[in-house]
Amino acid sequence: MPKFYRYLIYRFYTWRLDKKDDTPVATIIFSMAAIHFIQIAILLMILSKFFPSLVPVFKQRKIFVTFFYFTISLLLYFLIYNKEKWQYYIEEFKNESTQQRRTRGIFVWLFTFGSIFLFFILLPVLFWNYSL
């Protein structure tokens, strides 16, 4: 697994453990699924601008979108969750310096919130009807 993804899991996992979350694994899996769901939507938006036949993907019923989200969540659970590995990630990154934590934290924030902001920025840029 790439180092950034391991670090992302480490930051989410330790954050949820520090907050005494009852279900930290579920919280992390659902959060990461939401981020990846938005990233998939960004890719589909960009592709649908060039291939209009993909536009019906955005006209799906809510039940299908919900099913797709939970499918992504289930796949992520089976692909990334391993308690021993997650404990190893804690050991791997626990001795990072303050500067490393700050720098890597910026990347984590960009990955999480940047994806969401990019989605809402690209939506009007790609699909707004500018001919008034």
Which among 1, 25, 31 is positioned nearest to 13, based on CA atoms? 25
pLDDT per position as a tens digit, 50-82: 888 877 877 888 999 999 999 999 999 999 999
48 neighbors 123 (Cβ within 8 angstroms): no
pLDDT per position as a tens digit, 3-36: 999 999 999 999 999 999 899 999 999 999 999 9
pTM here is: 0.86
- Three-state SS for 16-48 is HHHCCCCCHHHHHHHHHHHHHHHHHHHHHHHHH
